């Protein structure tokens, strides 16, 4: 359940043509966390952004092998983001 403050921030972002998404980075991708952040954090991106746009904003190279979860489902870099989206970014696992 969103708080009144969160709803107000979300509406303000939409009014500016921006959306806020929650991002969680796992394993070695945690090196892309903003300074002082440990865990899930919020990013603001322009409305109409895709997963690829978010990865670029975070600083993850376009050729990086990344598994993306968007609202609990596997996603592609071309998938559009929406305000309040929950994005999880993981490095592929190897071994057996």
Closest C-alpha to 87, from 73, 78, 59, 53: 73
Looking at residue 94, its pLDDT comes to: 64
- Name the residue ranges covered by the structural domains of the chain: 4-90
Q: Does domain 4-90 have CATH number 3.10.20.30?
A: yes
CA distances from 47 to 33, 73, 91, 92 (A): 22, 21, 26, 28
Give the pLDDT band of residue 8 (cuts 50, 70, 90).
low
Looking at residue 1, its pLDDT comes to: 44
Closest C-alpha to 83, from 3, 19, 23: 19
Q: Where are the beta strands (DSSP E) in the chain?
A: 18-25, 41-46, 67-70, 73-75, 86-90
Looking at residue 11, its pLDDT comes to: 53
Give the pLDDT band of residue 93 (cuts 50, 70, 90).
confident
pLDDT per residue over 22-72, tens digit each?
A: 999 999 999 999 999 999 999 999 999 999 999 999 999 999 999 999 999
């Amino acid at each position: 359940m969103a708080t009144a403050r969160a709803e107000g921030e979300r509406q303000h972002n939409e009014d500016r043509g921006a959306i806020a998404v929650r991002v969680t980075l796992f394993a070695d991708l945690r090196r892309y966390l903003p300074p002082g952040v440990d865990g899930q954090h919020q990013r603001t991106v322009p409305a109409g952004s895709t997963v690829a746009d978010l990865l670029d904003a975070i600083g993850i190279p376009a050729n990086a092998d990344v598994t993306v979860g968007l609202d609990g489902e596997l996603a592609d870099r071309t998938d559009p983001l929406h305000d309040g989206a929950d994005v999880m970014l993981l490095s592929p696992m190897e071994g057996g």
